[in-house]
C-alpha cells in the first residue's frame, strides 16, 4: 500500500500552499496602499499573475491526482469520522482554491484590467467592462480568501491534532506529504 504522496504531488501541495500564503500576505499589504503609491501597480500585477498561476497549478494537480496518480489511503488507525472530516475539508479547500483566483481574475476582467503574466504574455479580457459584475466578483474574492484561510487553518490543525493529540497515540499524517 502506498504510504506517501508521489514526489510531484508533494511538490505541488507545498508550492501551492506557499503561493497561497504569499498571495494572502501581499493581498493584505496591497489593499492598504494609497492609490498614488508608485509600487501599487506592480504589486497588483504580481498578485494577479501569481493568482493566475495558482489557478493553473491547482487545475493541473486535480487532473494529476484524478487521472494519473492516486492519493494514498488514509492510515488505517484513523477513525472513519476523521477521514470523512479530512475529505470534506480538503474538498472545500480545493473548491476555494479555484473560486478565489477565478473570482479575482473575473473581478480584474470586469474592471477592465487584464492579467499580465509576469511580462510573458497578457491574458486577454474575455468580457466587456462591467462595474456591477466587477463588484460582485471583488466581494466573492475578498470573502473567499478569508473562508479559504479558515479551511487552511482547519487542515493544519487536523495534522497537528493527529500528530500530538490522538487518543490512541500519534498518527503522523503529515509524513505522507513530506
CATH of the domain at 87: 1.20.950
Total domains in the chain come to 1
Query: Rg (Cα) of the chain, in Å, rounded?
Result: 19
pLDDT at 166: 66
pLDDT at 169: 58
Structural domain includes residue 1: no
CA distance 39 to 162: 43
pLDDT at 30: 95
Q: Which residue range(s) make up the domain with 104?
A: 7-176
Structural domain includes residue 2: no
CA distance 71 to 157: 20
Q: How many other C-beta atoms are found inside a 10 Å radius of the C-beta of residue 118?
A: 12
Structural domain includes residue 163: yes
Structural domain includes residue 152: yes
- pLDDT of the chain along its 178 residues, tens only? 467 888 999 999 999 999 999 999 999 999 999 999 999 999 999 999 999 999 999 999 999 988 898 888 887 778 888 889 999 999 999 999 999 999 999 999 999 999 999 999 999 999 999 999 999 999 999 999 999 999 999 999 988 887 777 666 556 677 777 7
Structural domain includes residue 156: yes
Structural domain includes residue 63: yes
CA-CA distances (angstroms) from residue 26 to 21, 48, 65, 175? Answer: 9, 11, 29, 29
pTM above 0.85, yes or no: yes
C-alpha atoms less than 13 angstroms from C-alpha of 167 in its C-beta half-sphere: 2
CA distance 146 to 160: 21
Amino acid at each position: 500500500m502506498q504510504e506517501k504522496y508521489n514526489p510531484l504531488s508533494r511538490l505541488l501541495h507545498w508550492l501551492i500552499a506557499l503561493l497561497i500564503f504569499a498571495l494572502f500576505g501581499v493581498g493584505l499589504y496591497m489593499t492598504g496602499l494609497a492609490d498614488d503609491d508608485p509600487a501599487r501597480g506592480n504589486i497588483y500585477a504580481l498578485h494577479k499573475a501569481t493568482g493566475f498561476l495558482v489557478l493553473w497549478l491547482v487545475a493541473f494537480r486535480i487532473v494529476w491526482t484524478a487521472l494519473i496518480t492516486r492519493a494514498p489511503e488514509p492510515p488505517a488507525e484513523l477513525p472513519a469520522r476523521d477521514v470523512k472530516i479530512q475529505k470534506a475539508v480538503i474538498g472545500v479547500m480545493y473548491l476555494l482554491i479555484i473560486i478565489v483566483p477565478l473570482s479575482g481574475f473575473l473581478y480584474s476582467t470586469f474592471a477592465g484590467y487584464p492579467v499580465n503574466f509576469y511580462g510573458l504574455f497578457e491574458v486577454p479580457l474575455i468580457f466587456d467592462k462591467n462595474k456591477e459584475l466587477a463588484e460582485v466578483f471583488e466581494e466573492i474574492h475578498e470573502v473567499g480568501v478569508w473562508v479559504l484561510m479558515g479551511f487552511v487553518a482547519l487542515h493544519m490543525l487536523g495534522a497537528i491534532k493527529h500528530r500530538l493529540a490522538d487518543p490512541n497515540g500519534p498518527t503522523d499524517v503529515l509524513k505522507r506529504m513530506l
